[in-house]
Structure formats: structure tokens, C-alpha cells
Structure 1
Amino acid sequence: MVEALGTHDFGVVFRLAREHAGISYQRLAAECGIKPERVGALARGRGRVESYDKIAMIADALRVPGHLVGLAPRPWETTATAYPATVRRRDVLAGAVGLAVTLPDLLPPSVPTRVGAGTVVRLKERTARLRRLDDVLGGGDTYRLYATEYQRTKRVLRDSSYGESVGRELLALAAEQAQQAGWAAFDGGRERDALGLYQESRSAAEEAGAEDLARNALAYLAYQATSADSRTAATIAAHSCDAITERTPATVRALLWERCAWARAVATDAAGAEAALVEARTALDADDASAPQPAWSAWVDHAELDIMAGRCWTELKRPLRAVPFLVRGLDQFDDTHARDASLYSTWLAEAYTTAGEVEEAARVIGRALELADGVASTRPRQRIDHVVSTLALEHRSVQAVAELVERTA
């Protein structure tokens, strides 16, 4: 480690941080200001970091003392935290774990014994800030953080004193946090944990009278159930949309309807999927879509809906309808959103495969593979393996496919 730092071989540094400290390449990329695929390439021995600014940025992100990389002491260094010249690899890795606390506002704020409306507002704002980590990090990176936030709110509900209205707000917040933790668990491959969190979220939301959150918990349950029991998932998803009213915020309506569309597509109900997609787009085009939306649904926009439409039509074996939606939607996801760009590209590759555009499918899945390297999410690789297996089964004689199979072996 010391030798790698001294020679600015950050590929070795990144690889050791991943292997020994459990820090994903995507997380390193987000903090160090490097594209995820660039981090992966460096870790594989391809390329070097040469610029002073980038070396300084990486050193600060990993809390590496300046003298180890040929720099003057960094502004954050103190005598108490400076490493000796004989610093060991595990010492630097321990510093690298500090990435978790260099991200904004990760240390939980204290909560007074008596909780009032102002405290709930601050907790909601914190939850909204932390949710944005999901834009650039996978569930393997965020699950523990989100689960800790949820458990902390449960302790507040159990141990603090508050009025009836504040109690309902805290219950709704717990429901929201349980959904976020459940999503991170699902994304990180912890499906059993996700299921339990979604069920707890639904119970808390119903107790709080937070109908929109309760319906979203149902939608999450349906989404997770699609691979095991598509018919049941479609029924659950439809039920989540049953109680939508004119008071339901636009992005919540769009979110519920697009997940209903997906469940119906997996259940091979093309007409039902199309009708749900129309409802989702109508919601986003409605006048109230420009009004303030709940933080937990505000991310739903036309790009997200394009991606979902493309996924649905790919699932329904309608590639001519799928490809335009996916291409347009993917244009809105840059490389900092490596998990989503990688995952959504797999549906584009599958649509190309169905359409007989085998070389283009191989090209797209190759790009998805690059983006997925180091992402702390199980979903992109699962989808990549699925598409590569399909290509290998039907088109192994095509050179691009043979090369892809060898690359993923």
C-alpha cells in the first residue's frame, strides 16, 4: 500500500480498498471525482493518475496524509492523526473507511427526549438528503446507513415523548425510511431483509394514516414479487393503484402506475401494461406535477418513465417499441449513475437481441459490463448474465458474442 501511494499507483490503492475495506469502486468514484469505469480500469492496471489536482483529490477523499503521495500536509491533517512513515496497509484502509463519514451529514444528529414538530422537520430533511446517495451508490453501500436511520426513528418512537400529531409524523417517517432501507436491501441482494422492511413500512404507514406511503409499500412488494409469482405481483400492484385519488400527488400517481405497468408486463398482460403506462404519463403531464412533490417520489420524471416503458415492451417481446424509449431515457443517465445506466442498458441489449441486432446487443452489454464494475448492486450483473446467456445460447458463432462470452467467463 505504501509503495503504491508513493508511486501514485492508485489502481492498487483502489483494489486494496475494495478487497480489504469493502469499499466499492462506485463509492470510490463518487467521492474521488472519477468516473466509475475509470476507477475499475485503474484497478485492472490500465492507465495512471498523473495530474496534481486529481492526486490531491484522491488523497483528501481517502484521508491519505500528504507525505505519502509526495504532497505537503493536507489541510485536514493534525499531529494527532498523522501517520508515521512506517504506516501499514491496514492503517490506510482504516482511513479509507472514513469515506462513509466524509459524505454529507452521515453522522446521526442528536434527538431531544421531548420531540416536537421542528425535530421531525429536521429528520425529514435529513432523510431526503441521504436518499440522494442512492443516485450514485448501490444498495451494498447504503443499506446499513438507511437501516440505521430507520432503527433510530423506531427508538425515538419507543423512548421519546411527543404529542399525537408528532407521533403520526414520526410513524410516517419510519415508513418512508423502511422503504428506503428495503430498496437498498433489495438492490444489494438481501431480498429477505427487503421483504420484511416493506411489510413493516406498510404497517407503519397504515397506522400513521399515510395512505400514499402505504400504497407505495404495496408497490414495492409487488415489484419484488414479479420474478417469483408474476400473477400475484400484478394483483398487488393493481391494488396499490385502486385508491389513487385527485389528492394523490402527481409523482406518486406516476410511480404507482409505472410499477403496475411493470408487474402487468411480466405477467404478459400487454394491454394492461400499456394502459398503466398511459396513466403514469398522464400523471406526469398533469398541472399538479409542477407543484411540490413528496421527497420519496420526486425522482420520478419522464426519463424514468421512458426507461420503464422500454423495459415493459422489452419484457413483452416488442423491441421496435422498446428501443426508442430506452435510447431516449438512457441519454439522461451519465456515468455518475453507473448502476442505473448499466442496469437499464441490459434491457436495451435484450431488445436488440429480440430484434436480431446481435452485434449491437453485444456492444451495449459490453458497455453495461464496464459500468457495472465495482457497483455495489447485484442487479446489473444478474441482468448482464441473463442477456449474455441468451446471446451465447442463440448466437455464439457471432464473433462479438464469442468475445463477450469469453470476457464474462
Structure 2
Amino acid sequence: MHRRGFLKSTTSVGLAAALPDIAHAPSAGGRIGSDVPRRLQQRTARLRRLDDVLGGGDTYRTYLSEYHHTRGLLRDGSYTQDTGRGLLSVLAEQAQQAGWAAFDSGRHAEARGLYEASHKAAQQAEDAQLAGNALAFLAYQQLPTDRQAGVQVAARSCATAGPHAAPGVRALLYERLAWAHAVAGQADETEHALEAAHDALAEADDAPQPDWASWVDSTELQIMTGRCWTELGRPLRAVPVLETALSQYDNRHARDKSLYLSWLARAYLQAGEVEQAARVTDQALDLSSGVASVRPRERLAPVLKRLAEHRSLPKVAALLDKARAA
């Protein structure tokens, strides 16, 4: 479903009704059966699909309420030790989902608190993969203010998940480690981490992967590769891989594609291709229109500022007028 059509349906009937195939979650209190963690995990996976078409401003409250519901089950219900561990894993996953929506909507303090809660729950559940992913989220959030600390936490995330984690999980954590190294300006370490991510993804077979890592595929890894080379100021390496990957990337993922296009626009600017940068930025602006996420505009702001130095070019002038009107 197109994003705007989806938004129309969720505005009129609510987010829960937009997913009629999801079974009702159990109520807090009383005995909790051994099937409940699996049912909640399935519900969480289905709700995650909202993030494909909606920004964190639209999904945060929904994800947060799911997290609070499961926390209530753990607090008020009675269950076996195995069921308790299953509930803790679901709680860790839901906290990451809500934390990501908080981060996407600019609620950074709430995001950090949810990531830390996720890490704690994953440790209690003895779920090394989710514990590692919680650290990766924390590293991503930390990078803008403390690059070296971000690198260290990202490295911890890979070590925590361990070498026996599912291939998709290892690919996800290594690509986030590569990004941390790129932000820190460490080119060799970036390349090594990207190679580790590629190697892990190549191991993926028909074995089931955690749903929260299933979105990592060869296209996503290409995009991360291009982002890293852009961050390192290597446009000749960044532009071809980003152009190829983004040509295959569905516009339905409007927020993410607009973000990724911002790195392509920046790479074109690094290469001195101003009109190409303007073309890509124009596409990113169109995609980000109406998305309830603060990140596309934050990413595009410095690109537009640099393009403003070339306002004498007709394509750039038209783009700047469009951005102001938006």
C-alpha cells in the first residue's frame, strides 16, 4: 500500500485496525501460557512493518504501548522460568522498536532509556543477539557526540552477539560497526568491518533469521558501503555503489530512501557534480514530504546549505525555492 493511502486508513480506523490479522495480546495478570511469548513475537514482527511506511512520529506511541503491555505481563503475571525468559526477549525487542521510533521522531532521551532497558532485558533473557543489537543502537546514537565511545560500543555489540549469532545479525552489527569507524574517520577499520558484514551475509541460507534483522540484504549492505565511503570523503567509491543500490530501492520506503539519497547528494557535491547533487536532493525532498521523521530534513539541511553556494545555477535555484516552500 502506498504510504499516503496507508496513513489515511490508519488515521480513520487506528493503527491496530490496520493490522486485522494480528491476534489480541493477552491481558496482564493471571497465568501466562508458554505460547504467549511466541504470539507476542509474531505481533511485534507484524507491527514492525509499520516502520516501512511510517515515521517514528506516527509509530512511537503504538510501539511504546506494546512495550508497556509486555512489561505489565512480566510484572503481574505468573509463568514458568522458560516463559519468563521468552517474555524478556520480547520485551527487549519491543524496547528496541520503540527506541528506534523515539530516535526517528527526535526524542533522543527516551530513545536512550529504551535502548538501555532493552539491553538489560536481553541480558536477563540470556539473549546475546538482542543484547548486541541494543548496544549497536546505543552506539549509533552516541556517535554524533563521542565518536570514539561510539566505536567502542559498536565493537562491543559484535563481541556480545558473538561468532555464533545468525548470519543476518552478524551482518547487521558489522555494518553498524563499519559506520561507526567511518564517522570516526578510520578507513581501514571501516573496510574490514564491511568485509566482515559481507562475509556474514554470504553465509545466510534458508535457516530462519530473527525478524528484526531480516531487512539486511545485499542492497542494504551496498547502501551502507556507499554511506561509509561518502562519510570518509571518497566520492569515486561512494557514487557508483549508491546509484546502483538506490536504483533498486523501492520508493515505498520513503523515509529511508530519502535519507540514503542525502548521502548520494553529498557524494556528488564532494565530486564537484553540483547539478547531479541538486537532482538527487530534489528527489529526496519529494520522498520525505509528509514523513513523520525528523531525520530526512536534518540530513538534507547541510546539503542544501552547500548547494546554496551555487544558487546561480537554474536547477539549484529552483531546488532552493522548493525547499523553502516545503
**Distance across 1 between alignment mates of 2:302 and 2:13:** 36
Residue from 167, 171, 183 that aligns with 2:88: 171
Q: Deviations along 1:289-347, whole A, 9 cap, x unmatched? A: 43110111111111111111111000001011111221122123222111111111111
The CA deviation at 1:232 is 1.1
Cα pair 2:128 2:162 within 8 Å, conserved: no
**Distance across 2 between alignment mates of 1:292 and 1:383:** 34
The CA deviation at 1:387 is 0.7
Q: Which residue of 2 aligns with 1:78?
A: none
5+ residue gaps, structure 2:
none
**Secondary structure of 2:133's match?**
helix
Residue from 146, 154, 160 that aligns with 1:237: 154
The CA deviation at 1:274 is 0.8
Q: Deviations along 1:243-272, whole A, 9 cap, x unmatched? A: 454421001000100000001100000111
**Total equivalences in the alignment:** 321
Q: Which residue of 1 aligns with 2:315?
A: 400
**Distance across 2 between alignment mates of 1:263 and 1:212:** 19
Q: Which residue of 2 aligns with 1:331?
A: 247
Q: TM-score, normalised by structure 1?
A: 0.75
Cα pair 2:130 2:161 within 8 Å, conserved: no
Q: How does 1:343-382 map to 2 (within 5 A)?
A: 343-382=259-298
**Distance across 1 between alignment mates of 2:5 and 2:236:** 35
**Distance across 1 between alignment mates of 2:252 and 2:40:** 27
**Distance across 2 between alignment mates of 1:101 and 1:283:** 36
**Distance across 2 between alignment mates of 1:116 and 1:133:** 28
**Distance across 2 between alignment mates of 1:210 and 1:320:** 41
Q: Deviations along 1:79-129, whole A, 9 cap, x unmatched? A: xxxxxxxxxxxxxxxxx4424243104785333721122111111111111
Residue from 284, 301, 318 that aligns with 2:234: 318
Q: TM-score, normalised by structure 2?
A: 0.94
The CA deviation at 1:390 is 1.7
Cα pair 1:136 1:337 within 8 Å, conserved: yes
Does residue 169 of structure 2 align to residue 252 of structure 1?
Answer: yes
**Distance across 1 between alignment mates of 2:160 and 2:136:** 13
**Secondary structure of 2:164's match?**
coil
**Distance across 2 between alignment mates of 1:302 and 1:346:** 20
**Distance across 1 between alignment mates of 2:43 and 2:195:** 34
**Distance across 2 between alignment mates of 1:177 and 1:100:** 16
Cα pair 1:240 1:256 within 8 Å, conserved: yes
Residue from 197, 202, 222 that aligns with 2:139: 222
5+ residue gaps, structure 1:
1-25, 33-60, 63-95
Q: Deviations along 1:57-97, whole A, 9 cap, x unmatched? A: xxxx48xxxxxxxxxxxxxxxxxxxxxxxxxxxxxxxxx44
The CA deviation at 1:406 is 2.1
The CA deviation at 1:27 is 5.0
Cα pair 1:283 1:289 within 8 Å, conserved: no
Q: Report the structure number with the largest CA radius of gyration.
A: 1
Structure 1 window deviating more from structure 2 (168-177 vs 103-112): it is 103-112
Cα pair 2:151 2:181 within 8 Å, conserved: yes
Percent identity for Structure 1 against Structure 2? 52
Cα pair 2:25 2:39 within 8 Å, conserved: no
Does residue 30 of structure 2 align to residue 113 of structure 1?
Answer: yes
The CA deviation at 1:399 is 2.4
The CA deviation at 1:391 is 1.6
Aligned Cα root-mean-square deviation (Å): 1.7
Residue from 203, 215, 218 that aligns with 2:120: 203
The CA deviation at 1:397 is 2.7
Cα pair 1:249 1:289 within 8 Å, conserved: no
Q: Which residue of 1 aligns with 2:70?
A: 153
Q: Deviations along 1:180-219, whole A, 9 cap, x unmatched? A: 0000111111111101000000011111111111111110
Amino acid at match of 1:30: F
**Secondary structure of 1:336's match?**
coil
Cα pair 2:58 2:292 within 8 Å, conserved: yes
Q: Which residue of 1 aligns with 2:130?
A: 213
Cα pair 1:147 1:181 within 8 Å, conserved: yes
